[in-house]
Amino acid sequence: FLVEKGNFRHFMAKEMHEQPEVVAHTLAHYLDMANETVQLPELPFDLAKLERVSIAACGTAYYAGLIAKYWFERYARLSVEIDVASEFRYREAPLPADGLAIVISQSGETADTLASLRYAGQEKQHLLAVVNVPTSTIAREAHAVLPTLAGPEIGVASTKAFTCQLATLAALAVAAGRARGVISAEEERGLVHALVEVPRLMNRALDLGPEIEHLARSFAKTKDVLYLGRGTSFPLAMEGALKLKEISYIHAEGYAAGELKHGPIALIDENMPVVVIAPHDAVFEKTMSNMQEVAARGGRIILITDETGAKHAALETEATLVMPDMNPFITPLVYAIPIQLLAYHTAVVMGTDVDQPRNLAKSVTVE
Ligand code: G6P
């Protein structure tokens, strides 16, 4: 089949802009929107009885899994271990009876992720695949599949598949929380309501495009960028760094904001931008005090926060991207957009091949 770019310059741009629609589509598959409850297809295992969850994935899908770990732990009190699939497959990790292994993959063909699924199968785990290609090998070999309904993704750097993975995993975490008696019916409604809001909030985030395009001009002149976040914003910081290095070839690292003083603070100077993902959530103040340390050393801060956060930040920044206020549960889905836009516009300024970056493949089917 043929997928066209339409009015967009690159597939990546088209796919970023499709996110409100495909995330809505994915959410509609897993939620009863009218009653504000989760409604998953029947699973061949009991969420209430799970001992532990093990997640394996590669690249962007791995960061979706890391975010889901925070959700499963917080909303379902399920302990989660997660590893990149290339490590998981050889680690010989003992996996408990009544353990659930989740693999996450856009293509469903990534060799290391498939091998991780097979290892978990040998260890007698329940096998769940979150995949975008329903006919893929991983989908066929898993006991159950939760499809992400992102549609074909052409850009090598994953965007809409990532947010659809998050939408699916968020619904699963809420379902697990309900099944395990951790969240009440009322809390479930609150979380589902927050998810239903995501497509609208994503459109607001996309409106930041021109501002981010402007910012990208100075970004394109730098050699290194540090991305920081706490809580679910920490994996998103790593995803932001990955997006930037994949398509602009600028070196970037994602770090937990609290780890700043254990190393990366030594790198702070007036040249290296520090992108801080800090919605006004329970850990906002902690992140801000880390940022004061960056500011005190003359660091260049790009703050991505919300209206309330921008009011409370009391911080000298080079730029502040202001997102709408939202439930902290859903921030990774919506904050994914400014970090994607920043990588995209920087790559466009650099003149790289955005959809086909050098040395990278869309699907890595060899080890
Ligand atoms: C490659 C792609 C990434 C992707 C990763 C995992 O590295 O360039 O965008 O996140 O593979 O692929 P998968 O298909 O398993 O999600």
Secondary element (H or E) of residue 320: strand 319-323
Ligand 1 center from residue 310 Cα (angstroms): 34
Tell me how far apart the alpha carbons of residues 255 and 263 are, in angstroms, rounded to a whole number: 10
Closest CA to 58 of 161, 170, 146, 150: 161
Tell me how far apart the alpha carbons of residues 198 and 276 are, in angstroms, rounded to a whole number: 21
Whole-prediction pTM value? 0.97
pLDDT at 227 (0 to 100): 97
- The alpha carbon of residue 189 and the mean position of all alpha carbons in its chain are separated, in whole angstroms, by 23
Tell me the pLDDT tens digit for each residue of 17-67: 999 999 999 999 999 988 999 999 999 999 999 999 999 999 999 999 999
ipTM of model over 0.90: yes
**Mean pLDDT estimate for the chain:** 96
Q: Residue 360 CA: which ligand 1 atom is closest?
A: 8
Helix, strand or coil for residue 44? coil
Tell me how far apart the alpha carbons of residues 82 and 45 are, in angstroms, rounded to a whole number: 20
Tell me how far apart the alpha carbons of residues 131 and 71 are, in angstroms, rounded to a whole number: 19
Ligand 1 close to Cβ of residue 106 (< 6 A): yes
Ligand 1 close to Cβ of residue 364 (< 6 A): yes
pLDDT at 43 (0 to 100): 97
Tell me the pLDDT tens digit for each residue of 226-257: 999 999 999 999 999 999 999 999 999 999 99
- Residue 362 is among the residues annotated as catalytic for this protein: yes
Contacts (Cβ under 8 Å, ≥6 apart) of 243: 60, 157, 339, 340, 342, 343, 344
Ligand 1 center from residue 157 Cα (angstroms): 8
Tell me the pLDDT tens digit for each residue of 329-344: 999 999 999 999 999 9
Ligand 1 center from residue 179 Cα (angstroms): 31
Ligand 1 pocket, mutate which of 15, 16, 60, 117 (most atoms under 8 A from CB): 60
Alpha carbon nearest to ligand 1 atom 7, residue: 59
Closest CA to 179 of 291, 298, 17, 39: 39
Ligand 1 close to Cβ of residue 363 (< 6 A): yes
* Low pLDDT (below 50) residues in the chain: none
pLDDT at 1 (0 to 100): 57
pLDDT at 314 (0 to 100): 86
